[in-house]
Chains A and B, each alone.
Chain A
Amino acid sequence: MVLAKYLGRKVAWTIVVFFVALVLNFMLPRLIPGNPVDAIVGQLARGGGTGGEQLQQVHEHFMQEFGLDQPLWQQFLTYVGNVLQGDFGTSFGQYPASVGSLIMQALPWSLALQVPAIIIGWILGNILGAVAAFKGGWFDRGAFVGSLFFSSVPPFAFAILLLFIVAVQLGALPVGGAYSFGLTPEWTPAFFGDAITYFWLPFWSLVLVFIGGQAVGMRSMAVYELGTDYVNYNRGLGVKDGYTVRYIFRNAMLPQITGLALSIAALISGGLITELVFSYPGLGTLLFNAIGQNDYPVIQAITLLITVAVLFANFAVDVLTGFIDPRIRAAQSGDR
């Protein structure tokens, strides 16, 4: 079946790229001159509060974990083996916490923030763009310039400004964090109600930027489609506008979906920075702290996670496109 062949190629490609990413993830931090373990232990020692015997323990632990006495390729295999089992090692900065546990604490917050933001931003943005194209006139002009502005503002800039205006000056919403001090996360409506107030600002700062980007693109595509021959032909046959709109949507959607795939990386990194600005306890803040502490295992794990997310999102989009656009499947499998 044509679709199966198409999907098969995409899966193979994704695996290849993932492998390259693994190699990079492994190699790059090891470009630091010198022994990373010594460097870290040295840091701990300088920081004080860690006695000689403890340092010795830490040193041994990490030497074993990294296997620095082994040849490089063996280290790599160990690394890959660990990753595939979900073992990301131990954190430097928050020793002896495991990287995995740190990530599992932060990940749900990031997902809860970014996934809805991306989806809602995409939907609303496309609707706005389509409406602007159909209506034309002043609405179109305003929406276009507005969207262009929103899409060019760096998301963290937007986050900062929103934070300042709404939270600090107006005091309408909380300034940072994910929930009020003193509460512990649990699945109760009370906690939910509290957490939501902390959720709004970071959520909307992400969504508004996404909307801007999508609206600009969708408007252009819709305007383009409105002038195409098939729309004209439909009109010439007396086909109701309502029916023709569906044709336009189907065609205009394709580049938008592709565009979504291409910008996933930017969206995710924008999301992480926004978390940072709002001290939201997601992966962004975790990464920030890890960088500050030179906590390589955590940094590596997060970058790998980002890569996986981007690859997965791209794959999902490829699958979706394959379903929506019959020409892609045909072209890919050599059909006329």
Chain B
Amino acid sequence: MSFRGLSPRFWVAAAIVAFVVLVALIGPLLVHTSPNATVGGLYDPPQCCGALLLGTDNEGQSVLANLVYGTRTSLIVGLLAGLIATVVGLLVGLVGGYRGGWTDDVLTAITNVGLAIPAIVVIILVSVSLPERNIYTLALVIGLTAWFWVARAVRAQASSVRTREHVDVARLSGAGFWSILARDVLPYLLSYVVMAAVLQVSGAILFESTLSLLGLGPSNATSLGTMLYWAIAWGSVRTGAWWAFVPPTLMLTLIVFGLLLLQSSLNEVFNPRLRRGRAARKSAKPGVGPESPVGAGGTEPVGAAGMLETPLSAGTEQR
């Protein structure tokens, strides 16, 4: 992969994502206040500087502290859940797509049912029933409900790779099932998997914030979603205490937008066919790249969005 292929869009996206990650990593080190410490009254407005930079929330706690710790929590949950979803989906898709036969039939049936049932429904039902809700159980639940579309897409690609010659060669030379999957099939899917992972992470972050907003968030940690939950529950919007909800909203928007932008720019790098030209269009068929989600709880893909983005009309590049 050459650096020439990286468009300005990529760098903007990378910058946004890097910024948010930095806030999550370094923020808590810079802000010495604990998010649970009472530093002021109810909805104190922001004052420079230090813990009250962004005012206080409904419990008199520092919004700034909650923001940085909350970002960290949201990112952790998103990353974990995204990873789980990607790995599970990858495994299921690989095994089903490569194996074929009734293994494939069973796995595909499960995948299709999983795809048809709205994930948000399952997540709500499970979360409500959990005796205890912490970051890890949440991540697990989100991850386990989101792997279906990864599996479907990976399966399609795996079953096409299966027919290639080098796989036959590997099989004839006695390589084992898992060895073939890992060394002969997976490398062809790697670029796709990376993009799918990015999408999963952003979707998981949205899921987590949706859950938290509904009141099903982690009970022992602050996340961006729980901040919003409290902001709404205590009517901060009505009273105009913008510092209680604008910062987490902005941070959430930044990270989701950044990740989606990253995925769409990576799409162009990994799929040069998606760039301009007739030859490019001939070989690019719908269904080639991962699709980006829309809205809260959106790990469900949306039609063509992000899929066939030819860089802004070939016409603009003409003399």
Contacts and interface: CB of A to CB of B under 8 A. Distances in A.
Contacts of A255: 286, 303-304
B214 interface: yes
B281 A228 contact: yes
Interface string A260-284: 1011011111100100110000000
Interface residues of A, number: 80
Nearest to A271: B295
A89 interface: no
A311 B117 CA distance: 8
A262 B203 CA distance: 14
B296 to A, nearest CB: 5
Interface in B224-268: 228, 232, 237-238, 240, 242, 245-246, 249, 252-253, 256-257, 260-261, 264
A292 B215 contact: yes
Interface residues of B, number: 65
Contacts of A163: 237
Given A220-B305, A220-B309, A153 B125 contact: no
Contacts of B297: 265-266, 269-270
A294 B297 CA distance: 21
B1 interface: no
A277 B232 contact: yes
Interface in B199-228: 206, 209-210, 213-216, 228
Interface string B86-129: 00000000000000000000000000010011111110111011
Nearest to B284: A224
A294 B128 contact: yes
Contact of B253 (A133, A154, A256): A154
B300 A265 contact: yes
Interface string A28-53: 11111100000000000000000000
Contacts of A140: 312-313, 316
Given A151-B305, A262-B303, A157 B125 contact: no
B304 A288 contact: no
Given A220-B307, A269-B118, A306-B118, A263 B302 contact: yes
B150 interface: no
A72 to B, nearest CB: 15
B298 to A, nearest CB: 4
A299 B253 contact: no
A217 B304 contact: yes
Interface in B148-204: none
B308 interface: yes
Given A259-B304, A303-B124, A152 B237 contact: no
Contact of A141 (B126, B302, B312): B312
Contacts of A106: none
Overall SS of chain B's interface: helix
A164 interface: yes
Contact of B252 (A144, A154, A270, A314): A154
A307 interface: yes
Given A220-B304, A227-B281, A266-B300, A17 B309 contact: no
Nearest to A134: B313
B74 to A, nearest CB: 12
Contacts of A258: 303
A20 B295 CA distance: 25
Given A153-B253, A154-B252, A224-B281, A306 B296 contact: no
A113 interface: no
A156 B210 CA distance: 8
B170 to A, nearest CB: 32
A266 B295 contact: yes
Contact of B312 (A16, A24, A144, A175): A144
B214 A288 contact: yes
Contacts of A176: 238
Contacts of B305: 151, 213, 216-217, 220, 259
Given A141-B316, A154-B256, A265-B120, 8 more contacts: A25-B121, A136-B315, A160-B245, A216-B306, A221-B308, A224-B284, A265-B118, A273-B296
26 contacts: A17-B116, A24-B125, A25-B121, A29-B128, A136-B313, A152-B261, A155-B295, A160-B237, A217-B304, A217-B307, A221-B308, A224-B310, A255-B304, A256-B303, A263-B293, A263-B300, A265-B118, A266-B294, A267-B294, A269-B297, A270-B295, A273-B210, A287-B124, A288-B214, A303-B121, A307-B117
Interface of B: 113, 116-122, 124-126, 128-129, 131, 206, 209-210, 213-216, 228, 232, 237-238, 240, 242, 245-246, 249, 252-253, 256-257, 260-261, 264, 278, 281, 284, 286, 291-298, 300-310, 312-316
Interface of A: 13, 16-17, 20-21, 24-25, 28-33, 133, 136-137, 140-141, 144, 148-149, 151-157, 160-161, 163-164, 168-169, 175-176, 209-210, 212-213, 216-218, 220-221, 223-224, 227-228, 255-260, 262-263, 265-270, 273, 276-277, 287-288, 291-292, 294, 296, 299-300, 303, 306-307, 310-311, 314
